[in-house]
Amino acid sequence: MNRQMNSFVNPARLIPMGFALLILIGTGLLSLPVSSANGHSVGWLNALFTATSAVCVTGLAVLDTGTAFSLFGQVVIMVMIQIGGLGFMTFGVLFAVLLGKQIGLKQRLMIQQATNAFSTQGLVKLSLNIFLIAFVLESVAMITLALHWTPELGWKRAWYYGAFYAISSFNNAGFALDPNSLSTHVGDPVVNTVVITLFVIGGLGFIVLTDILQKRSWRRFSLNTKLVLTASFIATVFGVVFVLVAEWNNPATMGPLSVGEKIWAALFQGVMPRSAGYNTVNIAGLMAATQFVFIILMFIGAASGSTGGGIKINTFAILILCLYSVVRGRTEIHAFQRKISFDMAFRALAVIMISFGIVCVLTILLAITENGSSVTFLAIFYEAVSAFGTVGSSMGLTPNLSPLGKLVVIITMYIGRLGPLALAFALAQTRRPPKYSYPEEKVLIG
């Protein structure tokens, strides 16, 4: 009986159950008439979609957040974003510390899975650091945005908007109170700088941020931190340069903008696919090549243990290093004068291939459910990857989804938030060595 109970409450099951419970609570609250701007319920399916998108910090929306939901509904969404982004287990640690409770091994294992930490040591301190980092950054961003928007919106609305966008940006949620996202601020240096800074820092991962704050020296950083920072920099530069070159004269996006606005737009859109979800130009108007590059970047996503999604930049970096070693004929995988085990490379390959398989299946399902619409396959593929990567960027398909299509995207967002994380945790478990070994034989490749 105890063995069955322990199996039922193991971390690999509790984390998905916890997120599912949060989604159900959010669905119940958002389906209430008080959450709607017109006093009528938005319906359980729309409430479920919005709650899933908020808890999974995705940002895809079937209803405009600023006009369809009341202040109460928007606050519920904001709270779900914060809990979903930082993780409900870290909130549990905070309350336990405040109440003087002890954090047991079972709780530490759940925190380890939620944060992708290497071990169970120092997890309480890590959880408290997560709150401190989030509180400081969100507070500074809220004050900056509020002061910037006060002349335009008035101080009450400006402070509320500042708080909403600070929380949504840091948690890489991408929820906006304007139907055009941040398009009206395409050339605004303050808004661009604050929002970009928030979702870039949030996408680095709390373990990386803690490592940076504690060691403050490149030579002392862990291999994980060095890989995340290097790969993130390369992906960012690639995205920004590609958008700047490809969209410079595109009349549907950056063509009509001034030179300064084009640079800000390229910087924003170049970083956005890593998991932010906002946009300052029309995503549907982008060139097909740019949209496909965004699909690749969305699939890669942010860093492990961050507020972002995707297969994680760490995973992709390890695969690239493995490929480089194979091409160079090396028998070991090296990075920054450190060795990476082939076991780690096999895990990275497994996460990538399984994630790609999930995206393919969900794309096919979405193509079937939306068969009657005039939407292109690229838009469907874009939406599926955006949902799986918990990015929230859209080419305009989400608001027009069929009921079955909404359910497919809901499942995609949920799997995307938990899938790679739970899979990595499962692959990291202790494995029993085989009792016997078969003879080795070669197979043709290529």
CA distance 113 to 417: 13
343-351 mean pLDDT: 85
Termini Cα distance of the chain: 52
Q: Whole-prediction pTM value?
A: 0.87
Q: How far is CA 422 from CA 91, 109, 314, 329, in A?
A: 20, 13, 16, 33
Per-residue pLDDT tens digits for 2-52: 444 444 445 556 677 778 889 999 999 999 999 999 989 999 999 999 999
Compute the Cα dihedral for 182, 138, 389, 48 and give only its sign: negative
Of 24-33, 56-65, 393-402, highest mean pLDDT: 24-33
- Domains of the chain, residue spans: 10-427
CA distance 330 to 349: 18
What pLDDT does residue 343 have?
A: 81
Per-residue pLDDT tens digits for 169-221: 998 888 999 888 889 999 999 999 999 999 888 888 878 888 888 888 888 88
CA distance 284 to 221: 40
| 334 has a pLDDT exceeding 70 | yes
Per-residue pLDDT tens digits for 90-104: 655 555 555 555 555
251-258 mean pLDDT: 92
Cβ–Cβ under 8 Å, residues 248 and 306: no
Residue 177: both structure tokens together = 């109170």
| Phi and psi angles of residue 340, each rounded to the nearest 5 degrees, phi first | -110, 130
